[in-house]
Structure 1
Amino acid sequence: MNYRPRCRSAGDMGNIPMCNMIWPVLSERPYPADQYTNLAMHVREQLSQATRPLEAFISSPTNAEKMAMIVASVRDHPSRPLGEILDHLSPSVLEKDKLNPSIIEALLHAASLNAMVKLPELGTCNNFENEDRPTAGKDGHSLQEAVSSMFSTPTRRPEDQLIDHKLTMSYLSVYHKYDVIWVNDLTQHLQIDRSLRTIKIFQHKIWLSAHASIPGQSLLGDALVCEALDTLNLLFPQHDRRNHSFLNDRGQRFYSLGYCGRERNLHLQDYRYWGSNLEQLMDIMKEPRRGFWQLVPNARQLNILESANFWVAIFVACLAIISFAFGLVAVVYAKKSLDVSLESLELTRLQYQLSVAQACTDPDQAKRLPLFCKPSG
């Protein structure tokens, strides 16, 4: 089924209409409005970068409509060489030279939007690790071949082992201090930087959900789209309060999308494109925890001695604090006891003086106590 963009009037356009114009497949099912925020931001960024190239097109009054028209041509002719797509677009351009750099640049921007990758400009194929990779416009290769070449599958498939259900991004963040860098380019998805302790994550789950539900709407293969969606389901599972908080704290709202008609796949062998990246994440889980959590006993790592030493030290420190507290209390009570004793001594002295004074008031007693009773006057 071929989808054609629905034209909108020029001027400011809302997030939902603009995204539906670029990717009409999004309009096939209702998504919450907040799911479009980051996706629309990416579209506006691409339109800003393509402002000058889009000036070569005269088909529509707005850049968004121009881009939607080019994206539709890319989507409808995925396996055709670049030259044929340019021929198809020729009625919509101001200059009929199909090799006009502006026209080609606009086409590459549209293909990048269609596949959610960053296609290199013509003549920059040296940016690829392998110069023999198909490149758009090179040797008659199609845009689909150029996009597919950006995703390599390893010669060795991952072993058929179960992925630990605890492998989530929130787990890696809490226990191993990894943080997320949200990206718009699927070629960067699940790139891991161990020195900076960062993991790049493709942030547009709504885009993956829509394209996984209706095949053939992207230059990407359907299998690759579904696998990318599975990796998000794996790292951000449902019914996980910590995961929900993790996403909310980072301004991501795709938790409410659920599993998008799929399940959380824990079979490593099913991940052809990102299996090696997931293996690295599994290895990270086996590393010693960082921060306070490295001192908590953990069955995954042999840290029993370190944990025992730490908690014994904590216990001894607590005993020392308790002993100090009791010693301080004892000093306070000793001081109070001393004050009471001094007051008691003073009362005894006063009582003695009173008894002597009473005795001296009696003349007979006064004669018997000449040392204590001085004769009056």
Structure 2
Amino acid sequence: MTSTNERLFSKSVYTDLVRLPTQRKCHVINTFWPHLKLDEEAYIQEDYSDLFEHIGRVLSSLHQHETKFDDKFLDSLLATLTELTAHRISTKEALVTKIKSKYSDARDDAVARSVELTARLWLGVHVSSRQLSVGPINPRDTRIEWPNDQPLDQIVAAQFRQRFLRAVDDEYSLDDSFTVVNLKAICRIHIRWTDNLVDHLKLEGPRGHRILSIYRHKICLVNHLKGPDPTVIERGVLDEAIRTLDLLFPFGDLKTAEFLKAERVHFHSMPPSEFSQPINLAEFTYWRNNLSQLLRLLNGPPETIAQTLLDRRNLSQFATLWVAIFGVFFLTILFGILATVYSIKQYRIAVRSYELALVLACREDPTIPGFCQL
């Protein structure tokens, strides 16, 4: 595919995409979501900065594999996206054949890689079949296989249908304390930002070393949700994902805003969804199990000694614990000082006893050689 616009896999692609003119960025966004009809006046840089940085990182990581993709330029990728959205109910094989027919020198595997890459960037799910995969792989990312005989809608729906079938009926109440800031402070959970919606709220790691993956592209969820029916990602999934972000990152909370600023994640400027604040887990289906797991950690006993020492949820227990610790600490110091003092006294008494015994011994006749002075 030929074009004269931005190269997808150049060494400077990350910088090139981040620095695209606003008009060009609007064109990219409107190709991703044609229903937006976004213009330069409505474009908000902060809302889309993470998205363009993500696209730049992905393309930059594939720099050495440029020849394995059919799309080499940005407009080529956008053209592939247009085909993908127009024929998304087609199987991957049919879609590849249709795109390949427009170019005489295109290879099946190269076209298929470009199609999967386009789907990955557009939907925010890690579509990457093993037989086509190239470039670096993060072992924490859930890979989604796209068989040749299935359409994109079907494989995406399957990822979240499994969550729906596994949902439990735990009845946990949700309050203002259930935030990522508190999960970090109380449970010492490490936050890993992910670009893969399938990994959203996935908790990994042993006790005391938990890692929580959180999807960072709220604007993409919102834009997909605004699209016409049927959406590729089910509306229930999109809505729940947005509500989990609203729940864990409450809008207007100062500590949350400071945390997101430190993490350089920019979705806090977007107001919460139009739906009311959830009050219990029964309002969630797709992410109910994940939220239940986090609530058990937040409300359950500390997992490590460090968490126990810093857990302030029960102030009376916290105070009792530290009073006991300081009490033992000061008593240890006190008894240590007393032991030192009495050790010194015992030493002095032992010296005096030795001197007295030596004097008495030297009065005897004959004297002990080597001990008594003449």
TM-score normalised by L of structure 1: 0.68
Contact 2:99 2:111 in 1 (8 A): no
- Which range moves more in the overlay, 251-260 or 20-29? 20-29
Distance in 2 between residues matched to 1:232 and 1:183, nearest whole Å = 13
SS state at 1:254 partner: coil
Distance in 2 between residues matched to 1:93 and 1:21, nearest whole Å = 25
Which residue identity is paired with 2:86? D
Distance in 2 between residues matched to 1:78 and 1:174, nearest whole Å = 44
Compared CA separation, residues 87 and 320, structure 1 to 2 (3 A): closer
Compared CA separation, residues 32 and 262, structure 1 to 2 (3 A): farther
Identify the match of residue 125 of structure 2 among 117, 129, 133.
117
Contact 2:30 2:38 in 1 (8 A): no
CA positional deviation for 1:67 = 1.0
Distance in 2 between residues matched to 1:287 and 1:294, nearest whole Å = 15
Compared CA separation, residues 296 and 68, structure 1 to 2 (3 A): closer
What is the CA deviation profile of residues 273-299 of structure 1, one whole-angstrom value per residue up to 9, with x for unaligned ones? 211111100011123357477456534
CA positional deviation for 1:39 = 0.8
Equivalent pairs, count: 296
SS state at 2:89 partner: coil
Contact 1:188 1:201 in 2 (8 A): yes
CA positional deviation for 1:231 = 1.1
CA positional deviation for 1:124 = 7.8
Contact 2:50 2:266 in 1 (8 A): no
Q: Does 1:51 align with 2:66?
A: yes
Compared CA separation, residues 212 and 69, structure 1 to 2 (3 A): same
Distance in 2 between residues matched to 1:144 and 1:115, nearest whole Å = 11
Q: How does 1:150-229 map to 2 (within 5 A)?
A: 150-151=159-160, 152-159=162-169, 160-195=171-206, 196-216=209-229, 219-229=232-242
Contact 2:191 2:212 in 1 (8 A): yes
Distance in 2 between residues matched to 1:223 and 1:190, nearest whole Å = 16
Distance in 1 between residues matched to 2:293 and 2:157, nearest whole Å = 23
1:311: which partner in 2? 323
Compared CA separation, residues 292 and 270, structure 1 to 2 (3 A): closer
Identity, % of aligned positions = 19
Compared CA separation, residues 83 and 244, structure 1 to 2 (3 A): same
SS state at 1:103 partner: helix
2:364: which partner in 1? none
CA positional deviation for 1:40 = 0.5
SS state at 1:200 partner: strand
Contact 1:115 1:218 in 2 (8 A): no
Q: Does 1:286 align with 2:299?
A: yes
Contact 2:192 2:214 in 1 (8 A): yes
What is the CA deviation profile of residues 141-162 of structure 1, one whole-angstrom value per residue up to 9, with x for unaligned ones? 1121122222322435332543
Contact 2:91 2:152 in 1 (8 A): yes
SS state at 2:191 partner: strand
Compared CA separation, residues 31 and 294, structure 1 to 2 (3 A): farther
CA positional deviation for 1:72 = 1.8
Distance in 2 between residues matched to 1:124 and 1:90, nearest whole Å = 16
CA positional deviation for 1:318 = 9.3
CA positional deviation for 1:216 = 4.4
Distance in 1 between residues matched to 2:218 and 2:310, nearest whole Å = 36
